[in-house]
Chain A
């Protein structure tokens, strides 16, 4: 079955840049989406179609793709960005797949 691989954890200091990767064999043939989930809350879509940002999402969140790896970049990390981040894609049969999630810790 199709899998997306994320690092379990990433740590950064406030004001620095956080990068969270997501790799999968079907990338870049399939788009990737990113979600932020804070404790006790439902996930929030923060990036769609690899690089696009929904309205209302701060500009410090961006997405990029290189080969079979997509990256979520958070510039100027703030304490409020501490959360779990999930990438998501779909395989050729339209089955949706999530990565295992990355816990972002703001030191």
Chain B
């Protein structure tokens, strides 16, 4: 079964740090671009960033709202995607989803994890 499982969410104070993980199974992880998408409570979807695959030099892209504070990385040997979050703000409170770019279209997120909740509050 193709699956993405996120972990690492929790409650953190403003200014704090948190590291999210996403473990993939059921497909060849190293072939795919992988992305993080978040959703604040009661709000819409917001793209956080992307990690391209080895063929595309593992390049990383970030949304302007997180650039300089968040770091995306991947470890193909562990079928894992990571999101290191620093200098967290209350507006970073959200469900964080790990997603897979499809085989058939870049930017088409065809597999999503169940999400992990990050709450930034004092």
Q: Which chain A residues have a beta carbon within 8 Å of chain B's beta carbons?
A: 1, 31, 33, 35, 37, 42-45, 48-49, 52, 54, 84, 86, 88-90, 93-101
List which B69-95 residues lie within 8 A (CB) of chain A.
none
- In the complex, the answer to whether B97 meets A48 with C-beta atoms within 8 Å is no
Q: How many A-B residue pairs have CB under 8 A?
A: 67
Most chain B C-beta atoms within 10 Å of own C-beta, residue among A54, A96, A97: A96
**Cβ contacts under 8 Å, A54 to chain B:** 102, 110
Q: Which chain B residues have a beta carbon within 8 Å of chain A's beta carbons?
A: 35, 37, 44-47, 50, 61, 63-64, 97, 102, 104-105, 107-110, 112-115
A88, closest chain B residue (CB): B107
- In the complex, the answer to whether B108 meets A33 with C-beta atoms within 8 Å is yes
**Cβ contacts under 8 Å, A94 to chain B:** 50, 61
**Cβ contacts under 8 Å, B63 to chain A:** 95-96
Given contacts A1-B64, A94-B61, is CB(A45)–CB(B109) below 8 Å? yes
Most chain A C-beta atoms within 10 Å of own C-beta, residue among B35, B37, B45, B46: B45
**Cβ contacts under 8 Å, B46 to chain A:** 98
Q: Which of A31, A84, A96, A101 contacts B47 (CB 8 A)?
A: A96
- In the complex, the answer to whether A96 meets B107 with C-beta atoms within 8 Å is yes
Docked CA distance A89–B105 (Å): 12
- In the complex, the answer to whether A43 meets B109 with C-beta atoms within 8 Å is yes
